Structure 1
């Protein structure tokens, strides 16, 4: 859209041009005053000091010749300098106008949802280049956020479809008289509604964590004892599947953290390890001190993760094995919540695997 005359006159480039014009006008007026009054009076004083023997008429003619020649010489020089300065200023302001218009246009495209728009380097200096880089980074983050939002809506619709379809089929079967409304039907309905509730709670937890609204109640906590307690809570599930689980850590490792939240992280990691470790396998939870704090490793000798899937394991609703359903594969959101909790503590949660069949190691790094 072409800017109106009023907008062009009030723009940055027009103001720069006007300021330069006023500066040149002030310089011209100053030069004229000096050439007309100051210069001739100084010249007259020097003539008097030199004791020139001319009569007053000759002195007046000499002073007038000096003033006129001074005015002509300075006028020509001033005209050339003004034209040069004006040309340079006009070129620079035109370039500033084009660059700022491009920035405004691109920012408008981004605000309209065209997150792929980018600002090219203006060449007007480090400040303008830094502004362009900042806006491009903002556009990139908005593009990633929009992609995540679309993927979340798609995945969420997929996650909701299964329990809702199950509930709908059960109700239709009862209405058609195919199935009685007995305890078994109630159990199916209750299980699926509970699943919907857990899904809603998990999504709310992820949103709070990623929006940095998660409240942490930090207190001195022995990380070794916390790991042992988490293992003890999961022990019945491991025994049922026939998987061994062990907690390692000799000395107390005391950290200032939220024990409930960090216990949730360890519980999620242990559940994930159990889910991907076959019968007869083992899982080890090891607490160790690092140079800057402490770390917790959850290592299994199970299925492992392909290299191309490692960057995706913390994404919402991602499953290493797409064939796993929500009943045996979880909602695919536990690792996302765990990473958000660890990052809220100022730490980092990472995954390592040599590939399928080599097992997986999840490491929680916490600052001291």
Structure 2
């Protein structure tokens, strides 16, 4: 039922009947008001003047003919309107009822329900496809939420279990309550604090609550600063951090310049470089570059490391997602660094994409940001 006073089908039928009745009544009024005079004029032109009695007889006969004709026509039209209306309304109401049932099922938690297209027109087809896409997105969101809660519980449980173990060991006298023991406990607590801070930062960025201090910055300078900050860590791991030569200045004063918060974007790039170093073996290379492509600027981090299989690429930016769960945990990754990068870049109106030709072929992360246009001089 659509609305408190009846279904959509009943309202469509009533509308058709009203059209037929109003049309018939209008035709009757017009015919009785104009047709007798016109008919009498044509008769007089054909046979000459007629007597008043004959004129009255002709008017009566014509009125009866019009009434009978209209009655038959309105009856037939009403029957056809009812038949067509029932057929059309049933065909039109059925997909709407199916959509209503599907929406109720989704509200009850059944995200697997889908609606079939009935081919009743582009409008309903568009609505059906949009509904199915929404249901699919909700199913993905619910799946991600469940995975995130499970992974978050695991991430918190691991350091807390260690802290409890140290506490019990100290209480039982197994471990001494000295500086070294408390340093290990402090390290586990710091891990929890970092995880909570990362989650808070992702949430604030996704909700556009970050305090961004935007200013025009040359993308090449950001790339160079990030590379310089990562070289010490990379050197310890035996990995080279390189930068591609900057673009030629050309004649465009805004080429390669983006309007960003330098600290936030540096953090996003640093996360990408850290992730690249984590998965690049000794002797490998991590290269940073920037280039202008039309109205956007691309900042790229490319490594010669492990690479990513095609089935993992769509999900590597999700919270806590790991391509190799065991190896990632041993190398210290929480699975949230790339998510922070995506949230920070999207807060600047940009996009992040991860590319890889497969395991053993390295990985490329591309940050796409709107190019800054300098104000025109007056």
What band does the TM-score fall into relative to the shorter chain? 0.7 to 0.9
> Equivalent residue for 2:240?
244
Alpha carbons 1:277, 1:303 under 8 Å: kept: yes
Structure-2 change in CA distance of 1:95 and 1:257 (3 Å): same
> Equivalent residue for 2:375?
none
Where does 1:25-174 land on structure 2 (aligned, <5 Å)?
A: 25-48=21-44, 52=48, 55-174=51-170
When structure 1 is superposed on structure 2, of 178-187 and 357-366 the one drifting more is 357-366
In 2: Cα distance, 1:40 partner to 1:130 partner: 53
In 2: Cα distance, 1:151 partner to 1:176 partner: 37
- Number of aligned residue pairs: 364
- How far is 1:263 from its partner? 0.4
In 2: Cα distance, 1:187 partner to 1:87 partner: 84
1:342 to 334, 341, 345: 345
- How far is 1:71 from its partner? 2.3
- How far is 1:327 from its partner? 5.5
SS at match of 1:88: helix
SS at match of 2:283: coil
Gaps in structure 2 of 5+ consecutive residues: 250-255, 372-378
Alpha carbons 2:17, 2:81 under 8 Å: kept: no
1:198 to 194, 218, 221: 194
- How far is 1:219 from its partner? 0.8
Gaps in structure 1 of 5+ consecutive residues: none
> Equivalent residue for 2:376?
none
2:223 to 227, 230, 239: 227
> Equivalent residue for 1:311?
314
Alpha carbons 2:257, 2:297 under 8 Å: kept: no
**Whose relative contact order is higher, 1 or 2, with alpha carbons under 8 Å and at least 6 apart?**
2
1:360 to 360, 363, 370: 363
Structure-2 change in CA distance of 1:357 and 1:26 (3 Å): closer
Post-superposition Cα deviations, 1:311-365, rounded to whole Å, max 9, x if no partner, equal 3322222233322254523111111211222233333323333333333332323
When structure 1 is superposed on structure 2, of 290-299 and 152-161 the one drifting more is 290-299
Alpha carbons 1:221, 1:256 under 8 Å: kept: yes
Post-superposition Cα deviations, 1:38-70, rounded to whole Å, max 9, x if no partner, equal 433433344455564655444433333333233
Whether 1:297 and 2:300 are equivalent positions in the alignment is yes
Alpha carbons 1:295, 1:363 under 8 Å: kept: yes
What is the Cα-based RMSD across aligned positions, in Å?
2.6
SS at match of 2:288: strand
> Equivalent residue for 1:16?
12
Alpha carbons 1:116, 1:139 under 8 Å: kept: yes
When structure 1 is superposed on structure 2, of 204-213 and 330-339 the one drifting more is 204-213
Whether 1:283 and 2:286 are equivalent positions in the alignment is yes
After TM superposition, the score normalised by the length of structure 2 is: 0.86
